[in-house]
Structures are given as C-alpha cells and as structure tokens.
Amino acid sequence: MSKNITAVILAAGKGERMWPLTYDTPKPLLPILCKPLLNIHLNALEEADLLNSAIVLTYKNKEKIFEYLNGYNTLTGKKIKLMEQSLPLGTGHAIKEILEGAEDLGDEILVVYGDIFVPSKEMSRILKNILEFDGNIIAVKEVNNLSKYGLVKVDEHGNLLEIQEKRKDIPPDVNGYVNAGIMKLRIGDLKKYIDKTEISPRGEIELTSVLNLIAKNNSVKIYPIESSWMDVGTPWDLLKANIIELDHYCSELGKNPEDCLIYDKSTVEIIEPVSLEGPIYISGKAEIGPCSHLREHTILCGENKIGFSVQIKSSIIMRGAKIPHLNYVGDSVIGEYVNLGAGTVTANLRHDGKNVKSLVKGEYIDTGMRKLGAIVGNYTKTGINTSILPGIKIGANTWINAGCIIDRDVPDDAIVYCSQEKKIKKK
C-alpha cells in the first residue's frame, strides 16, 4: 500500500431519484441501520488509516454534511476535509477540482462514490485489498441486469478495456460487470488525461470517460466484488440496503435471524403483550404499545412511538416518527417526525402479484420488488383511515386529510383534501 494516498468520497449527487427522502437530507446522510450511509465509508477509511487525508466532496446541502463531518471529526479526533464542487458538471469535473484545489495529494487517490452500499465489514475488506494493489485498479460487480448500468468490458487478463454508458437497448436479463464506484488511481495518470477527456453529451466530464482514456494508455486492473453491493439511488434501494446490513449484523453476532432482536432494554419501553419477530433493530428510545406486532426487518431509529395494535414489517421508521394505533406499515420507508393517523394503512402488494412500479422523474419504473409499500417524506401527517397504495411516494411536510385513498404521488408541502359526497334522508 502506498503511504502517500488521498481518499476522496464523492457526495455531490442531487439525489432526485431518492425523492422524497432527500427533501432536506443529502443522500449520503440517509440511514443504514439508523446511521448515515456515509458512516460506512468513513469507518472503512478509518480502519485503513486514511481519515486524516480524506476529502468529502459535495454540492447540494453542504451545510448538513459539514455539520455531520464536524461531529465525526470531534468524535474520532480526525481531520476530514470538506470541499464544494463549484458546479454539478460530473464526477470527472469533481476530481479535476480536487486535483487543482487540494494540497499534498500524494501519489495516488482512492475514490469512493458516496451513494454505493456494501455491508460494513465487507467495505473494509474491499478497501484493504484495493489499497494493497500496486497501480491503477477499479472495483467491479457482476450483476444480472445490465439494462440499469453501464457495461465494464475487460480482457482475459483482468485489465479494463472500456466502461460503456448505460444503454436502454440491453435486455434486462443480460449479466456482466458494472462499475462499483470504488477505485484507486495514480495522480500522475489522472492529471495527464483528465484535460484530454471529451465533454459528454450532457455537458459533463465523466470519471468513467477519464478511466477509459487511462485504460487505453496504461494498465487498469479490475477487482471483482463478491459481497453484496448496491447503487443506492431510489428509496427501495435504501430499504434493500438496510435489510442486507441487518442480516449481516445478525450473522456477525452469531444469531439466528428470528432470535436477532437488537435494542437497549434501558431505552425501549415495551408494554405487553407485544410480539417481536427478528431480525429487528431499534436505535435509541422507543415506546412499543400493547398488542403491537413488529415483524422481520423492522428498523426503528429512535424517539419512536408504536402504539396499540400496530403491525410493522420490513420497514424503516426514521427518527421521531410515530405510528400510534391501528396501523399497518409494510415494506415502507417512513421519514423523520412523520405522524400516521389511526387506521392508516400502507398497501404493499398488487392484486396481480406483479412487481410494484413507482413514478421516478415522470416515468413509471419497475422497482424489482413484489412487495413495496409507501415512501413518506419527513414531517408529513396522515389523517385517520388513510389508505396508501403500493409504491406511492408522499412528499415532505405534507398533510393528508382523513379517509383519503392515496393512489398517486403527492408533492412536498401539500395538503390533500378528499371529498366524500354523502346523501342523508329520513326513514
């Protein structure tokens, strides 16, 4: 491993596909077992003794990431730096600004995309192996649906040939390698070729294009990731990542999933009778009321109230959210300080049993999930007997009036009125 290396976490994405969860929260700060996704990357860098040379590059919501890094630095005694990209002109442009603006970068740069997920222990192992390699290297992951990603082409010796852009003409059942968002590159090669890289049709400098230019002139090895890996781009990706991390955590503890109930008895008040089916993860304070049923992969992030006769399954309940009574929350993400009115139900299964589709940037896409409930933004309130259809997203700071059936996405800062025409006559 080179002693002169700088670690960079690219955290400048807008997170538009993650709406409504990114209304006032940068995507790297969204929770994985109630801690920011960014925490996984920072902990792995700490194990590699790279935090004092680390740079986190951001663009949107800089203040919140800065606040988080300040707390992390205070806790660990490290000196992680924060840089702001001047304009959102691509990952290559971000690296170019670091090369021009940062001091004492050393001989190599380790780049980690801030929106990728690998289980915590696996991330540390992957970084260790990549850092021990002498020369340019990029992590790749074999996936069985290349239509969602750009193809990474390699030769028979494990050298990078080319990273292709995502193509819609690739059938959904074709497998192959994709860019896993972790790479170590020589500073000299980056400086030599980044200014020679052509601007993409989107008007951006893409780091993948820089890599292609380097690979044509120098060796860039690939490192196949064998563990779970995800590009956390949508709310259901976040849900899947939390489930994977919880399963890994229980495995590390040597617990069977059904017996893996992780919470502090001194901060969680349970009012019997209550049914808990593992794996379950509760962080911080929570009150769990009588006749409630917390099923597998329930995650509570603190300051939560789960009231009478509530059932929760495979869901993230963020900090301060309250689900007070007679609710069903299945395969859903409930944002911070949300309050669900009595009888609010999140439907999570289509009548035809097909995968749930959800609207993303004006287009309905297949989420890949047969069961998917609601995505509810921070500070939203629902009235009593609200019914939310599968895959629906409700914006932040929104009010839903009583008795509504929510069958389409609701924007941020909205009020939903539901007219119920009634005719009453005497007998």
Cβ neighbours around 12 below 10 Å, total: 27
Over residues 336-345, mean pLDDT: 98
Mean pLDDT for the chain overall:
92
Alpha-carbon gap, residue 166 to 269, rounded angstroms: 49
Alpha carbon distance 19, 63 (integer Å)? 19
Kindly tell me if the per-residue pLDDT of 3 is higher than 60.
no
Confidence tier at 61 by pLDDT (50, 70, 90): low
Nearest Cα residue to 2 out of 139, 186, 180, 126: 186
Is the pLDDT assigned to residue 420 strictly greater than 80?
Answer: no
For residue 257, cis peptide bond before it (omega within 30 degrees of 0): no
Q: Which helix (H) or strand (E) holds 35?
A: strand 35-36
- 């807008």: which residue's tokens? 14
Specify whether the CB–CB gap between 50 and 3 falls below 8 A: no
- Report d(CA 112, CA 46) in Å as an integer: 14
Residue 52 has pLDDT above 80, yes or no: no
Rounded mean pLDDT, 312-332: 98
Q: What is the CA radius of gyration of the chain?
A: 23
Instruction: Please write the tens of the pLDDT for every residue from 259-280.
Output: 999 999 999 999 999 999 999 9
Instruction: Tell me if residue 72 falls in helix, strand or coil.
Output: helix
pLDDT at 353 over 80: yes
Angstrom distances, CA of residue 60 to CA of 25, 38, 66, 187? 10, 15, 11, 26
Query: What are 313's two structure tokens?
Result: 């399954």
pLDDT in tens, 87-100: 778 888 889 988 88
Could you tell me which residues come within 8 angstroms of residue 240 by beta carbon, excluding any fewer than 6 positions away?
230, 369
Confidence band, pLDDT 50/70/90 cuts, at residue 73: confident
**pLDDT interval class at 166 (50, 70, 90):** confident
pLDDT surpassing 80 at residue 342: yes
Picking from 420, 337, 350, the residue whose alpha carbon sits closest to that of residue 382 is 337
If you average pLDDT over residues 92-112, what whole number do you get?
Answer: 87
Cα 329 to Cα 316: distance, rounded to the nearest angstrom: 10
Q: Does residue 1 carry a pLDDT above 60?
A: no
pTM score, two decimals?
Answer: 0.93
Place of tokens 């004092």: 52
DSSP letter at 326 equals S
Q: Please state, in angstroms and as integers, the Cα–Cα distance from residue 242 to each residue in 117, 237, 247, 329, 355, following that order.
A: 10, 9, 9, 16, 20
Measured between alpha carbons, how far is 273 from 99 in angstroms, rounded to an integer?
60
Is 226 in contact with 123 (CB distance < 8 Å)? no
Q: List domains and CATH numbers for the chain.
A: 5-231 (3.90.550.10), 235-416 (2.160.10.10)
Residue 321: predicted pLDDT: 98
**Is the per-residue pLDDT at 181 higher than 60?**
yes
**Nearest CA among 358, 320, 314, 356 for reference residue 340:** 320
Average pLDDT rounded to a whole number, residues 146-175:
81
Enumerate long-range contacts of 326-329, CB under 8 Å, 24 or more apart: 329/373, 329/374
pLDDT of residue 48 exceeding 80: yes
pLDDT band at 2 (very low <50, low <70, confident <90, very high): very low
Helical packing angle, 62-76 and 37-47, nearest 10°: 40
Selection from 47-56, 59-68, 183-192 with the highest mean pLDDT: 183-192
Long-range CB contacts (within 8 A, 24+) of 306-311 = none
**359: β partners:** 364
- Omega before residue 279 within 30° of 0, cis: yes
Strand pairing report for 339-340 and 381-382: parallel
Segment (H or E) for 181: strand 176-186
Element (H, E) at 307: strand 304-308
Q: Is the pLDDT reported for residue 138 higher than 70?
A: yes
Q: What are phi and psi of 218, to 5 degrees?
A: -145, 165
The span from the CA of 328 to the CA of 349, in Å, is: 13
Higher pLDDT, 251 or 51: 251
Is residue 172's pLDDT more than 90?
no
Name the least confident of 80-94, 163-177, 361-375, 412-426: 163-177
